[in-house]
Amino acid sequence: MATSTASKKVQWTPTDVKAELLKKYPPKVARKRAKQIMINETSDGEISPQITANVRTIPGIITMRGCTYAGCKGVLMGPTRDIVNLVHGPIGCGFYAWLTRRNQTDAGADGENYIPYCVSTDMQEQDIIFGGEKKLALAIQEIYDIMHPKAIAVFSTCPVGLIGDDVHAVAKSMTAKLGDCNVFAFSCEGYKGVSQSAGHHIANNQVYRHVIGENDEPVKGEYKVNLLGEYNIGGDAFEIDRILEKCGITLTLTFSGNATYDQFATAHQADLSMVMCHRSVNYIADMLETSFGIPWIKVNFIGANSTAKSLRKIAAYFEDQKLIDRVEEVIREEMLDVEVAAREVRSRTEGKTAMLFVGGSRAHHYIELFNELGMKILSSGYEFGHRDDYEGRQVLPNLKVDADSRNIEEIEVQPDEKRYKPRKSEEQMAALEKSGMKFKEYEGLAPDMDENTLIIDDLNQYEAEKLVELLKPDLFCAGIKEKFSIMKMGVPMKMLHNYDSGGPYAGFKGAANFYYEIDRLLSSNVREFLKAPWQENPELTGAYVWE
Amino acid sequence: MLLRHTPKEIGERKAVNINPAKTCQPVGAMYAALGIHGCLPHSHGSQGCCSYHRSALTRHYKEPISASTSSFTEGASVFGGQANLLQGINNIFSVYEPDVIAIHTTCLSETIGDDLPQIRKKAEQEGKIPEGKYVIGASTPSYQGSHVTGFSNMVKAMVDFSEKTETKNGKINIIPGWVEPSDMEEIKRMAKLTGVDTIMFPDTSGVLNGPMTGEYKMFPDGGTTIEELKSTGDSTGTLALGDWCSADAARTLDKKCKVPCKVLDIPFGLKATDRFVDAMRTVAGVSVSDELVYERGQLVDMLTDMHQWTYKKKVAIAGDPDHVIAMVEFLLTLGMQPVHIVTGTPGKKFEKRIEELTKDKGFEVNVKAKGDLFLLHQWIKNEPVDLLICNTYGKYIARDEDVPLLRWGFPILDRQGHQYFPTVGYKGGLRLLEKILGLLLDRKDRDSPETKFELVL
């Protein structure tokens, strides 16, 4: 099977494309995939198409998805710098999640940074047969003796759940034994759930249970906020830190880019939670609100306009003229460079087309950046999104909870007896809402996509190639596994999981960076090199003319 | 300091592995399977395994890596993965149309006791394997061995194809071991120069170092064909390169089809290459070509010319057993002193072999099988070295300890060239030596005071 984009250009309707994508599948697969491929029709307001998402991956179909462990350890807990992540299982899972996600960290004044370490119980056959609890306890002790960390997080991989090691009991007894080290565990075996998404939920639950609210020592500073769902890929969180600091906003916690244990432990003291990647952290945002009375809003620091909008939202929430003025000043100042970059590249990016298949929020976030470049998104979708990520949080009550989702624990949270304190009165909240501020809400990807574009959940390798072949985008965005098959077709490819060693792309400086990067990719002239002179003109038409 | 929590004092560790010098079996099985033409590797486990292995191999080769997975859910983990695998096989043959599916297991499917041969039989009975298509399988639980044994197990599974007919094919089988596509190409070139007709399996050249043509081929032109794999049973003999990676397959083939085998080191460096060429010449009954003799002479020339720079330089090395054994021998040839030696793969025979090689060389050697990079780093802190040879993960130690790093082995995630330029054979030896000298002399130039900074070295 060979695919290339060089064939003749035909105008395809979305219905044709969908039919082409499904054509080769066995009937059962085609039926299932048909529900995950949606032709976007939201803009007429009447029809609200539904997409099937967060359902099982089809065995044998080459998916982009990873597993629950990857979502829990790799994505959510990995970026925290001063918690030792101990992977309980055979060596592979620890190895592959070792420094491969580009979460930047700064060891800070305390000097604690365990990110460059891969720590594993490296389970052997006898541990599988006789159980791994003793080895786990000993491993925790050995880490403590060598490194003396504040906390050790234990992650279960597939066989651990099957052999029934009680990782939580081991963690609890080791916490008691060590005295000054919080040990807690995540039952994030790879087979749970249908994608990384289940792992995010598991991480949220355990962080809430074991770390949030552990430290009541007052956090100093004005306008205290949590930034949830920002993982500091390529330094994104550092750029957001810079901007917030410039505005005078105090960041209590970034969950979890370059985070520290104490940031998590004091997060309950913030006055507002900002949710960046809602797919991965909306759970804890809710828990922080229910337990401690911290309201949450959706923000997006991807794109200069989105960043400005998000900053204005924060300022509006605090209802403080000093902050409102400062934010406007910062935006004015920062936009100067952004505008220079946009002016420089826009003539080359305007009207170009892209496809985005990434994450559970990212594909949506990046639409804003492409809008700023005047580019058009032909098709997009998530790897591990749920229906609310496509259609908006209002669909949550209508979501069908299937067996796979039921397997993931949903924890009941009560208001904290002593520390629950609504940050705003009911009247204040009502007034803010009236003025247009939306709490506990996010929009889906679909409303931001053009009419008749294709929204595809859990896109796979076969469909990706077909899409590129049929619609010939100028740029394709996905992850490492997709990168080189797309590039072989001569189409520029940008990784939006890990940025191909680039970034930051968040905030103002990040936006400018991204503009230049997309300009570089679109001006790629690889097609010029594909044919050698003798392939361009294979016919010999005369003798060689010597000088 | 990046590895600031690594103390100089070495304490005993019984349970925790820190900064592994190995990974798990399935990724090796996947790499080996990519060396069969028209083959789709399939991971029988939860989808994260497959995703991780594809990512690791993609980052190493900067090439597309296609592989599928049984995508276990909790249900499959409880009731067994048979239904997922049967459905997977059907979908794969319908959508991707490979010639072969090479299935490997994972810790998940092994722990629940899925029986691959039985599931394959069922797939056959249910007509899920089309006429002329094949499904092979290897058992590769992650809690045994390492990526190296996973590779070996999948190569062994390829012996399933071998058939013994009445007629010998006059060829020599070469099992190259876990080496780069460029190395496989080089081994084939050397065999051709020697006038030996070979079947190499697996063969990832032309699969994982393919050209840019504007066209994506899910199954590139390279790889050992099914016809070749079948024919291995009629070969004159098998040269298995690397005890850890290739010996099992060679011995299995000998048992099955009476094809005698010889297990050799992977031809890294002068002496191992000499033994390989000598073995080829002997089994094929030919004389060694002048070209190879010439190349050998060039390597000997360069190592003598440059001896003053390599002599008594201390080296720390981490890698896979077959690689490290051959490399240690080469370092000794260069007059260097490999003082700290680690492999993550278990096996006492590794330590024994290293001890034999380094015995009576006049320096103490730290060696450990089933070791990790944390231990290697501690050894370096206690006795500093002039050079570190390791995969990309070594760069954290190299930076902290200010030691030059030769990236060699798997995975190399941050430099290019391994796909295209071999390190096996005499030519490969020259390249290794060039790289080692470059690192040592760049370091000398960087560290020499102005008075001692010299133009000619």
Sign for the pseudo-dihedral over CA of A88, A93, A95, A97: negative
Position A276 scores a pLDDT of 97
Position A539 scores a pLDDT of 86
Count other Cβ atoms within 10 Å, centred on residue B457.
12
Judging contacts by C-beta atoms under 8 Å, the chain B residues touching residue A405 are none
Closest Cα to residue A61, out of B66, B130, B69? B69
User: Could you tell me the CATH number of the domain that includes residue A137?
Assistant: 3.40.50.1980
HSE value, Cβ hemisphere, 13 Å, CA-based, for B186:
26
A158/B13 CB distance under 8 A: no
Number of domains forming the structure of chain A: 1
Judging contacts by C-beta atoms under 8 Å, the chain A residues touching residue B65 are 481
Chain B window 282-321: which residues touch A at a Cβ cutoff of 8 Å?
Answer: none
For residue A120, the SS3 value is strand
Position A43 scores a pLDDT of 53
For B172-288, give the CATH class: alpha beta
Alpha-carbon Rg of chain B, whole angstroms? 23
Query: Can A148 be counted among the known catalytic residues?
Result: no
Note the CATH architecture for domain B25-161: 3-Layer(aba) Sandwich (3.40)
* Cα–Cα distance for residue pair A326/A194, rounded to 1 Å: 45
* Residue A500 domain flag: no
Looking at the DSSP bridge assignments, the partners of residue B318 are B342
* Cα–Cα distance for residue pair A393/A379, rounded to 1 Å: 21
Interface contact B47, partner A, CB < 8 A:
yes
**B172-288 and B294-451: identical CATH topology:** yes
DSSP A140-207: HHHHHHHH--SEEEEEE-HHHHHHT--HHHHHHHHHHHHSS-EEEEE---TTSSSSHHHHHHHHHHHH
Interface contact A121, partner B, CB < 8 A:
yes
B139 neighbors B172 (Cβ within 8 angstroms):
no
* Cα–Cα distance for residue pair B148/B153, rounded to 1 Å: 9
Interface contact A113, partner B, CB < 8 A:
yes
* Residue A161 domain flag: yes
Interface contact A120, partner B, CB < 8 A:
yes
B8 neighbors B378 (Cβ within 8 angstroms):
yes
* Cα–Cα distance for residue pair B355/B357, rounded to 1 Å: 5
Query: Can A259 be counted among the known catalytic residues?
Result: no
Q: What residues contact A65, with CB distance under 8 A and at least 6 apart?
A: A57, A194, A195, A196, A383, A384, A458, B47, B51
* Cα–Cα distance for residue pair A262/B387, rounded to 1 Å: 40
* Residue A335 domain flag: no
Interface contact A476, partner B, CB < 8 A:
no
* Cα–Cα distance for residue pair B386/B400, rounded to 1 Å: 14
Judging contacts by C-beta atoms under 8 Å, the chain B residues touching residue A87 are none
Alpha-carbon Rg of chain A, whole angstroms? 25
Q: What residues contact B208, with CB distance under 8 A and at least 6 apart?
A: B34, B57, B61, B63, B65, B181, B222, B419
Position A8 scores a pLDDT of 46
* Cα–Cα distance for residue pair A484/A490, rounded to 1 Å: 10
**Could you say which of A135, A146, A481 has the minimum Cβ distance to residue B51?**
A481
Interface contact B146, partner A, CB < 8 A:
yes
pLDDT in tens, chain A (547 residues): 556 555 445 689 999 999 999 999 999 999 999 999 999 986 555 556 799 999 999 999 999 999 999 999 999 999 999 999 999 999 999 999 999 999 999 999 999 999 999 999 999 999 999 999 999 999 999 999 999 999 999 999 999 999 999 999 999 999 999 999 999 999 999 999 999 999 999 999 999 999 999 999 999 999 999 999 999 999 999 999 999 999 999 999 999 999 999 999 999 999 999 999 999 999 999 999 999 999 999 999 999 999 999 999 999 999 999 999 999 999 999 999 999 999 999 999 999 999 999 999 999 999 999 999 999 999 999 999 999 999 999 999 999 888 888 889 999 999 999 999 999 999 999 999 999 999 999 999 999 999 999 999 999 999 999 999 999 999 999 999 999 999 999 999 999 999 999 999 999 999 999 999 999 999 988 888 999 999 988 887 777 878 7
Closest-CA residue of chain B to A500: B59
| Length in residues, chain A | 547
Chain A window 525-544: which residues touch B at a Cβ cutoff of 8 Å?
Answer: 526-527, 529-530
Chain B window 373-392: which residues touch A at a Cβ cutoff of 8 Å?
Answer: 374
For chain B, residues with pLDDT lower than 50 are none
B73/A135 CB distance under 8 A: no
Note the CATH architecture for domain B294-451: 3-Layer(aba) Sandwich (3.40)
A56/B87 CB distance under 8 A: no
Count other Cβ atoms within 10 Å, centred on residue A333.
11
Position A46 scores a pLDDT of 52
* Cα–Cα distance for residue pair B308/A446, rounded to 1 Å: 68
A117/B16 CB distance under 8 A: no
* Residue A234 domain flag: no
Chain A window 221-250: which residues touch B at a Cβ cutoff of 8 Å?
Answer: none
Q: How far is CA B421 from CA B64, B198, B413, B429, in A?
A: 19, 21, 16, 11
A380 neighbors A478 (Cβ within 8 angstroms):
no
**Could you say which of A92, A147, A465 has the minimum Cβ distance to residue B23?**
A92
Closest Cα to residue A236, out of A24, A79, A385? A79
Judging contacts by C-beta atoms under 8 Å, the chain A residues touching residue B13 are 142, 146
Q: How far is CA B291 from CA A170, A281, B193, in A?
A: 64, 64, 7
Q: Which domain holds residue A84?
A: 68-190
Domain boundaries, chain B: 25-161, 172-288, 294-451
HSE value, Cβ hemisphere, 13 Å, CA-based, for B321:
29
- Residue A148 has which token pair? 């003396």
A191/B88 CB distance under 8 A: no
Interface contact B26, partner A, CB < 8 A:
yes
3-state secondary structure chain B: CCCCCCCCCCCCCCCCEECECCCCHHHHHHHHHCCECCEEEEEECCHHHHHHHHHHHHHHHCCCCCCEECCCCHHHHHHCCHHHHHHHHHHHHHHCCCCEEEEEECHHHHHCCCCHHHHHHHHHHCCCCCCCCEEEEECCCCCCCCHHHHHHHHHHHHHHHCCCCCCCCCCEEEECCCCCHHHHHHHHHHHHHHCCCEEECCCCCCCCCCCCCCEEECCCCCCECHHHHHHHHHCCEEEEECHHHHHHHHHHHHHHHCCCEEEECCCECHHHHHHHHHHHHHHHCCCCCHHHHHHHHHHHHHHHHCHHHHCCCEEEEECCHHHHHHHHHHHHHCCCEEEEEECCCCCHHHHHHHHHHHCCCCCCCEEECCCEHHHHHHHHHHCCCCEEEECCCHHHHHHHHCCCEEECCCCCCCCCCCCCCCCEHHHHHHHHHHHHHHHHHHHHHHHCCHHHCCCCC
Active-site annotation holder among A67, A97, A137, A512: A67
Q: How far is CA B340 from CA A465, B13, B137, in A?
A: 47, 18, 37
Closest Cα to residue A4, out of A352, A521, A490? A490
How much is the ipTM here? 0.98
* Strands ordered across the beta sheet of B237-241: B198-200, B172-175, B237-241, B261-264
pTM confidence score: 0.97
Judging contacts by C-beta atoms under 8 Å, the chain A residues touching residue B318 are none
* Residue A388 domain flag: no
Closest Cα to residue B51, out of A70, A433, A261? A70
